[in-house]
Every structure is written in structure tokens, then in C-alpha cells.
Structure 1
Amino acid sequence: PVKPETSTTEPKRSKVEIFKEQSNFIRYPLNEEILTDTPNINEAATQLIKFHGSYQQYNRDERGTRSYSFMLRTKNPGGKVPNQLYLTMDDLADQFGIGTLRLTTRQTFQLHGVLKKNLKTVMSTIIKNMGSTLGACGDLNRNVLAPAAPLMTKEYLFAQETADNIAALLTPQSGFYYDVWVDGERFMTSEPPEVVKARNDNSHKTNFPDSPEPIYGTQFLPRKFKIAVTVPTDNSVDILTNDIGVVVVSDDNGEPQGFNIYVGGGMGRTHRMEATFPRLGEPLGYVPKEDILYAIKAIVATQRDHGRRDDRRYSRMKYLISSWGIEKFKTVVEQYYGKKFGPFRELPEWEFKSYLGWHEQGDGALFCGLHVDNGRVGGKMKKTLREVIEKYNLNVRITPNQNIILCDIRSAWRRPITTVLAQAGLL
């Protein structure tokens, strides 16, 4: 990591930067605040709980006292939801939420209306049922997008695997999440050796070698960070709106060889602030497939060390690239990467793919995409989905369009499932 320039004046930092610095890696004072009898948590804890995948909210309709609750957001790289986790989220919405689930544009669940006194129960239940909310919000890498269609082609499988590996690479390592919600018990799945190797590699000064957070350090990133992976033509993930967009590049036989990388997308802006603006990602270059994790880490380290930390309205990476220009940005990233980026490979035009209706997966099974209005799963739809997913033991995927895909359906099940879905008005 780059040492900050020494000067007599302390650089101006936003309040959130100070909360992070004083938090003992995102623990304090959240670990104390969730134990108090009040229905809400203090300002510092409100910022820190975002890293754990939750936002504190209050009802704006009621006059007088605010009624507080918490929204929880899961982390599902590529929108993959195992059967057990779907049924768990369905139960939690009824027991501790407002009876509905929300599907997000980043392929995750949101669970609204959780009271503070129930937070630990809900969090630990998600963790123990193949889920996580770690890093779904906060100043770090958010959920990694990938095409949700469970197509069994080499490119689609490789895109999903790459999304999983990037998500693992950039998952916080210091254990704060498990300390707060499951008393320190770790539920980490085993990681591919290439992910561990890439994370620990410090040959180009990307890491804090003595820190429990080798990539993030005490301060994490200046702001949220969004990554998407896809295959040529499939723009279901809206690739150019992400901080990093990664596109699989294959040879003539469909064998993945490497990736084109776009950087600097982001559609947010601050109302009535002309200096804030939406921006589409632009080409950075090409990397061979074995280097993708190192390239991602180099880009993240560049934003970590050079992104603005004084004013959060200008802290996204798009503002750094806009300020520097893409050539300077590329030069700095290459120092962390230790190599030059190759020239961008030519790609066909993008297409939007919705994956609604019935499709073949390519392995003998079928998948069925269902439209969900505004991503809200409730009422009859919720009951019917539960019935079908439970009866046939189906896995699920959430699309970036806030729709849902039922996966791994045997052809013999198509007719009975179609009947049930049609009767409920879902097909």
C-alpha cells in the first residue's frame, strides 16, 4: 500500500473514516450496541452494521417517536441461492420480517422489518443455513454479479466460477462478522487454492502484510465497490454500470482464455449536486485467465489507496478515473499488477437477455424464469414458490432484473410445475 504523503496538516477525512479506524475492524461499538434494550443503535454502529449486511431504518410515516427496524441483505455471487437458504429466507420473512422478500438488482435478497432484538437470531440463522450477509453493504466489494441463467456451457460456468472466486478473494478475513453474530464460530467454506494464493501475494505491494485484513486494512475502501462478470453478448448484468466489469474471452472452440476488463462505471449521483454524475465503464485491457484475481486486486488496491476519503459523494472509483484519465489510472494499476494489460479483444454487440419462461440448461434438466413485480415476493406468489421449491428440492437464482429462476427441473416435472405456477398466475 502507498504511504500517505507526510505533511504537517492532517488530511481531511469523512466521519465514516474515523468510525472505521476506531472500530477494531468493524466490531466496536456495534458489538455493544446490539445488546442494549433500546430499539435502535448509535451513529457509529449504524455505519458499521452496513459492513455486516444491514441498514437501520425507521418509519417516516408515524408522527412523534420513530419506530426502528433493520433491513438485511444477503450475499449471493451470481444470484445463486441453494434450496435450504431459500426456504430459510422464506421462513424468516414470516417470523421476523414483514412477510415479504425483496429481490435486488444485485441478485440478492432483502429482508425488511427485522427488530433489533431479533437481529442476532436472524443473522445466525442465515449463516447456519448456507447464507451470508457479510459485505452486502458497506465500503467494500458488494455482491458480485454474473448471468443468472444456469446454462451448462463452458463460458457460463466459467463466468459463474470467476464471480465466486472474486467474491471469495475480496471477502473480509478478520472474523468481525462471525464474532458479532455467531460468537466467533467460523462458517467459512473451503476456498480454492488459487484464491488464497492471490489474496496473500504481496509481490507488488498490494497488501497490508501484518493486518488481519490483508487487502482492506483498517480503513477498507473509500466507498462501496461493485463488480460484474459476464460472457460475450449477455448484458443481463448491465456490465458498464459497475466499478469493474469482466467479460470472458474464449477461443474459436468456446474455451475461455482470458478476460476483457472495463472500469469506472456507476450510475449514482447526488441530487442537485452538478459535480456528481453517472458514468459508464471504459476499457482497461485484457488479462489471461490465470491472472484475473491479481488484476482485480490491483484495481481494488488503486482505489483503496487513491480514492477520495474526505467527501463520500466523490469517493467512488469513477471519480478517481474521471480525475486522472484512463491512461494514468492504467499505469498506476499496472504497478500493483506487476504486468502490462494486453489490448482489448473485440467483442460482439451486447444483447439483453431476460431468461423468462422455460429453457434447457444443457445437462438434461430445465430452468424456468418467472417475472417478479419490482422484485417483491409476497402473498400468493410467495406461497406458491415455497410449495414448488420445497416439493421438488429446487435451487434458485436471482436475476439482476429482480426476477427469479427455478433451476435443475427434471423434464418429467415440467407439466405439474407449469400447472401449479399457471394456477397462481405466475406463468
Structure 2
Amino acid sequence: MTTSFGAANPVVLKDPKIQIQSFNGFRSSNSLALIRHIHFISAPCSSCPLIRAVSTQPVNPETAAQTKRSKVEILKEQSNYIRYPLNEELLTDAPNINEAATQLIKFHGSYQQYNRDDRGPKSYSFMLRTKNPCGKVSNKLYLTMDDLADQFGIGTLRLTTRQTFQLHGVLKKDLKTVMSTIIKNMGSTLGACGDLNRNVLAPAAPLVRKDYLFAQQTAENIAALLAPQSGFYYDMWVDGERIMSAEPPEVVQARNDNSHGTNFKDSPEPIYGTQFLPRKFKIAVTVPTDNSVDILTNDIGIVAISGDDGEPLGFNIYVGGGMGRTHRLETTFPRLGEPLGFVPKEDILYAVKAIVVTQRENGRRDDRKYSRMKYLISSWGIEKFRSVVEQYYGKKFQPFRQLPEWEFKSYLGWHEQGDGSLFCGLHVDSGRIGGKMKKTLREVIEKYNLNVRITPNQNIILTDIRAAWKRPITTSLAQAGLLHPRYVDPLNLTAMACPAFPLCPLAITEAERGIPQILKRVRAVFEKVGLKYNECVVIRVTGCPNGCARPYMAELGLVGDGPNSYQIWLGGSPNQTSLARSFMNKVKVQDLEKVLEPLFYHWKRKRQSKESFGDFTTRTGFEKLQELVEKWEGPVVAPARYNLKLFADRETYEAMDELARLQSKNAHQLAMEVVRNFVASQQNGKSE
């Protein structure tokens, strides 16, 4: 008996009693169609040889001995487009899923986690991350997420640095209910995690301006272009029902275009194929000067260019940014994006697709530490990379257009949208919405039927507010601790932290839970060395070196480097255009003042006019800074301190104390902030 499967060489089977079992359990009617290469393994009985499929791709004899692939690459290929074995694991009674399913569920927008604070058996749950291009969240979806957090999560919502929600604590048995509810309420988690394009960033400000609207529409089109097409997500969570709005025709045309060999022919995934991308892929779109999206940290950074008349012309494209690295492995590193070129506005989807395909075909798949596109560009150089992309694009890139200086824009406080309505940006410490803040936000959003935007700095914007609503909304928000930014410590306004403990399996030390106390201690050092209250340093804290809160762009980055210790990074810029560098390793959290006090003291006394802390550390040099830290014995003269009796009656004190506790402060600290801001506003008024 002789049989042949696809392109494989014929295999002679001496026993007609053949049991064919698909590798990893493909138990569908098209299993045999996927088999391309077979080999014998031990059979259950001596007379029954067992054939097991090991690949879904044709075997080319010339490339059969290629560089090895990582385990995740094999799992993806054998998953029937991200279905198996996740579909079977979700049906078991166990509270967790196996290793293969754990990798695959990421593509569906979820991570398996367990509470690392608990001792004994692991208490498994799942984190769900939504996908919200431009950070746009409809009124209906916000209220749905708020409900799900209470019904199936841990009672809080988290705003991420990529303009999405994270919902923590969902049990396996509730996953389908939660996922289907999100999908049926105008939301999605598809591609929020996994080896494919992640959420596409754009400025969250709902400004009715041609350039902002153009950038945001482009971000949404790119997100649609690079969304998976094989239906695995809807098969899993809503039984195959496609609940999605119609795509713009230009998106469909760009996806289907194969004039330059970008697509897999007749594949359910024309751009991704069975392998998807080597690693996650991040894209941001913005307008000149607006660096609210940390444009240089993305695999692709896109800047919408307009003419003198305000009409969109095209796009500058940066490539090769990325934050992740591994401690003390110098071959891994954070990297800034660099200019690739300019494309006319009608070509942007084709150019983006060409870049993605270049990474798909050439990014490393053997070692996931080096699989991001930044390593491909670092290895090739930008000229070779551009040349290869141009082959898939079918055109030459035009020269990069000159850009003005970048600015970090938070969009906090009240602003006009440009259409007669207002929007209000609210600071949320570490993006965590819970307690009274969560309750009040829901009440305001529900009462006034507001839509929402999430910012890349973990804040929230309430949009489409009528002018008559400003006063009652401000009052309601203030009572929940959501204050106008002038009443929030400037250090808090620019700080970010990743979730870290207790749920992130990669965390080495605290980040979100630790940053409130760290910021208080930094404020105390500021006061000790004589820095003014309104001066600010961009501080970001992560529990591991993966860089989720982008600490390598901070003026002061604290990166988890062991239990209760951090690696200190210095040298980023306030507008997020400079890369920080590693300054010290394994600094215990209780010893931070020993490092920060001399740094801030000398910045106060040795800086040039309006020189930021990050620029000061770069100009001074790390060798000199190290010497200053080692020789530090404290300030030469302690600054004078003045105490004011701030409360004349118990009622005022108790009201201030209650408000202060919502911000993790005491009544005196909050009252001093109010006094300082009032004095500053009066001085500014006089100077004007």
C-alpha cells in the first residue's frame, strides 16, 4: 500500500490497519488537507503504526534544514488559525488552560494570570484587553465595561498606555460570557495581544480639525487593514456570528491587492498566513508637534502632513521603535524609530502593508527575544530595509518632510472641541479606575450620555460636553477626587506605571502599587533640596524590563531588577524624543533617596536656563553623576521651611481630609497645593 500526502515523498505502509491522528489533535473534516509531512511514532499496538502530522506547510527539500523555530511558531502553525487547542481547553472543568492554549488566547486579547500574593494552589484568572483604535470608547461600551468589571472582574477598570481597557480577574468559566458581551456592545479584544498588529494609537483629543480627524481616520483604517480575517475570534466567542461594521472600500482594496507579492493566495489570512508575525507589532499615527502617542517607540510611527491650506497631503513614516529588553543582555535594547520616508495620502495603507510584510518575511522566528522589527532594522540598516520594503510597496519612498519640534500633550482639563462642545481630560493615577472614582465616572457618563477617549498616558477624556454641563460635571468629579490638573501634584501628572504585582507573571517587583509612595518620596526630596513645587520630572516605573510603561523614554525610569529593587534609567526628555540610558543596577527601593537626592540637588544648582532633568543628566555625563552620588553627604544648607495654620475650623479640615485621602495625601499636603496654585495664579495674573 502506497500513499502520498500533498508534496511529501510517498510513504510505503505495510499494514493496512492505519490509524491517522492529527498532530495536536486536528479533529476536523479538513485535517487531512492540512497534512503535508509525516513520520512514524510508536503505535498503541504492534500491528498499528500511527502517523502523526507535524507541519501544515509544504516541505521544500532545499529549505527543510532551515534555522530552528521557537515553540510558539510551531504552535501557531498547527493551531488551525488560532483555534486549536484553545477551543477544547475552554470546555474543560479546570480553572486554567494548558501552555499551548495560553499562547493562543493572547491573539484573542487575553492573558492567563494568577494571584502571586496568594500562597498555596494557584488561583487562576484571565486579563482581557480591549482594542480601541485612537482610544475611542462609545458610551455603550464604557457602561458595558464598567458593568463587567463588577460582575466578572475585580471591581476595577485599568486604562493602558496603548489607549485600551484592561479587565482583570475574569474566571475561565466566564470568559465566553464576557467576551461575547464586549463584542455585542461595539467592542473587541481581537489582536489586543499576540503576534500581530496591536491597538493603533492616535491623539485622543476629540478636536474637530482636519489634521486630527485625518490622523484618527487613518489609524482606524490601518487597524481594520491589519485585523485578522480568518474568523477564529468570532468562532470562539460568538459562535461564528460576525458583529462588525462595514469596512471602507479603500481598506478592502489594499488588503486584497497582491500586485507585489504581499499576500498568501487563497488563504483565510491573506496578510498573516498560518504563522502571523514573529512578535507583536505596534503602530501610532499623529500630527506634527503632538507627541501624546510616544511616536518614536512604535514599530511604525506615522505623521500626517498637511499643506498650507490645511488639506492632508500624505505621511512621514518612522520605523524601528520598541521598548522591550532583557536585563544584562546587551544584545537586547530599547530603540527609537528612525525616518523611512514620505508617502502620498492615498498610498499609506499599501506602505504600511509593505512594512508589515517585510517584517513577516524577515523577522527572526527562532528566538523571541530578537523578533521585534527593531532588531531586523538594527541588523540590516535603514537603507537595506527601505530597499526591501519598496519592493513590496512597488514604489520609492519620497524624502522625509521636515517636522517642527515635538511636544508632549496631555489634554487634561477643559478644552473646546471646535464644534461648540467641550471635552474634559481627567488624570487617573496609573490608569486604575475603582471605588468612588469609578462610581462617579459612570454616573456622569451615563447621565450626560458622554463618549470617552483613553489617552496613551493612562488618562481618560470625556467628550461632547455641552457648556451648560461644565459646572455640575466639575463638581461631581471633584467630589470623587477627579480634580482639575492644577490641583494634582505635577509629578503625578506625567508619571506612569505598569500593573506588575500581583497579577503579571513577568513582574520582578512592584510598579502600580509602589509608585504612589515613590512619588511622595520624590516630592519630599524636591522640598528638601529646594526645588519648586511646579517643577516636574517625567517618572515611569515598571516591574520588569519589558517596558510596558515606556520607562526608557523617561527622565527618571525605574525598571524592576529584583525583589524590591530597581534599575535606574536617566536621560529621557519631557517631550519623549530622547532615549534614556541605564545608570545604576539593583538599587533597593528603600535606598532611592541616596541616589535621587544628590541628582536633584545638583540639577537645581548646576542646570542651565530651563534645562530639564533629563537633559541635565545627559549633559553632565553618567561618570560625573556617579561620582556625585558616591560622595553625597547631604545638602550644604537645608532650605528654610515655613508652616502655615491652614484650618480654622473642624468642618473645613474634615472636608479637606476626606478629599485628600482620595488622592493618597493628607489634608495639609492638599491644602498646601491649593495655596501654592492660588499664589502662582495671582502672580501670573500680575505679570500678564
Question: Normalising by the residue count of structure 2, what TM-score does the alignment of the two structures yield?
Answer: 0.61
Distance in 1 (CA, whole Å) between partners of 2:61 and 2:352 is 25
Number of matched pairs: 425
1:353 is matched by which residue type in structure 2? K
Q: 1:33 aligns with which of 77, 82, 89?
A: 89
1:87 is matched by which residue type in structure 2? L
Q: 1:238 aligns with which of 266, 276, 294?
A: 294
Distance in 1 (CA, whole Å) between partners of 2:434 and 2:157 is 7
Higher relative contact order structure (alpha carbons within 8 Å, sequence separation ≥ 6):
1
Judged with a 3 Å threshold, the aligned counterparts in structure 2 of structure 1 residues 224 and 5 are, in CA distance, closer, same or farther, namely: farther
1:88 is matched by which residue type in structure 2? T
Partner of 2:410: 354
3-state secondary structure, aligned to 1:397? strand
Please, which moves more after superposition, 125-134 or 415-424? 415-424
Q: Does 1:61 align with 2:112?
A: no
3-state secondary structure, aligned to 1:299? helix
Deviation digits for residues 371-407 of structure 1 (CA, Å, limit 9, x no counterpart): 0000000001100100000000000000000000000
Distance in 2 (CA, whole Å) between partners of 1:108 and 1:38 is 29
- 1:4 Cα deviation after fit: 8.5
Q: Does 1:23 align with 2:79?
A: yes
3-state secondary structure, aligned to 1:203? coil
Partner of 2:280: 224
Deviation digits for residues 124-143 of structure 1 (CA, Å, limit 9, x no counterpart): 00000000000000000000
1:257 is matched by which residue type in structure 2? L
Matches within 5 A, 1:108-147: 108-147=164-203
3-state secondary structure, aligned to 1:213? coil
3-state secondary structure, aligned to 2:108? coil
- 1:423 Cα deviation after fit: 1.9
Q: Does 1:249 align with 2:314?
A: no
Distance in 1 (CA, whole Å) between partners of 2:462 and 2:422 is 9
Judged with a 3 Å threshold, the aligned counterparts in structure 2 of structure 1 residues 28 and 8 are, in CA distance, closer, same or farther, namely: closer
Matches within 5 A, 1:43-192: 43-192=99-248
Distance in 2 (CA, whole Å) between partners of 1:8 and 1:77 is 40
Q: Does 1:287 align with 2:357?
A: no
Q: 1:7 aligns with which of 63, 83, 88?
A: 63
3-state secondary structure, aligned to 1:348? coil
- 1:76 Cα deviation after fit: 0.1
Distance in 1 (CA, whole Å) between partners of 2:60 and 2:272 is 15
2:403 is matched by which residue type in structure 1? L
3-state secondary structure, aligned to 1:215? coil
1:195 is matched by which residue type in structure 2? V
Q: Does 1:298 align with 2:354?
A: yes
Distance in 2 (CA, whole Å) between partners of 1:185 and 1:7 is 40
Distance in 2 (CA, whole Å) between partners of 1:117 and 1:388 is 32
3-state secondary structure, aligned to 1:49? helix
Distance in 2 (CA, whole Å) between partners of 1:334 and 1:425 is 52
Partner of 1:375: 431
1:397 is matched by which residue type in structure 2? R
Distance in 1 (CA, whole Å) between partners of 2:65 and 2:222 is 37
Distance in 2 (CA, whole Å) between partners of 1:281 and 1:19 is 30
Distance in 2 (CA, whole Å) between partners of 1:301 and 1:39 is 38
Q: 2:459 aligns with which of 375, 378, 403?
A: 403
Q: Does 1:318 align with 2:374?
A: yes
The answer for unaligned runs of 5 or more in structure 2 is: 1-58, 484-688
- 1:111 Cα deviation after fit: 0.1
- 1:412 Cα deviation after fit: 1.2
Distance in 2 (CA, whole Å) between partners of 1:234 and 1:59 is 38
Question: Normalising by the residue count of structure 1, what TM-score does the alignment of the two structures yield?
Answer: 0.98
Task: Point out the structure with max Rg over C-alpha.
Answer: 2
- 1:305 Cα deviation after fit: 0.2
The answer for unaligned runs of 5 or more in structure 1 is: none
Deviation digits for residues 102-161 of structure 1 (CA, Å, limit 9, x no counterpart): 000000000000000000000000000000000000000000000000000000000100
- 1:62 Cα deviation after fit: 2.1
2:102 is matched by which residue type in structure 1? T
1:253 is matched by which residue type in structure 2? D
Query: Alignment identity in percent?
Result: 86
- 1:7 Cα deviation after fit: 3.3
Distance in 1 (CA, whole Å) between partners of 2:66 and 2:398 is 39
Distance in 1 (CA, whole Å) between partners of 2:411 and 2:343 is 29
Q: 2:440 aligns with which of 384, 389, 403?
A: 384
Distance in 2 (CA, whole Å) between partners of 1:162 and 1:251 is 17
- 1:184 Cα deviation after fit: 0.6
Q: 1:193 aligns with which of 223, 239, 249?
A: 249
- 1:10 Cα deviation after fit: 3.6
Distance in 1 (CA, whole Å) between partners of 2:297 and 2:60 is 30
Q: C-alpha root-mean-square deviation of aligned residues, in Å?
A: 1.1
Q: 2:469 aligns with which of 413, 418, 422?
A: 413
Distance in 2 (CA, whole Å) between partners of 1:320 and 1:62 is 41
- 1:5 Cα deviation after fit: 9.6
Distance in 2 (CA, whole Å) between partners of 1:7 and 1:124 is 42
- 1:415 Cα deviation after fit: 1.3
Q: Does 1:393 align with 2:441?
A: no
- 1:272 Cα deviation after fit: 2.4
Partner of 1:261: 317
Q: 1:278 aligns with which of 324, 334, 339?
A: 334
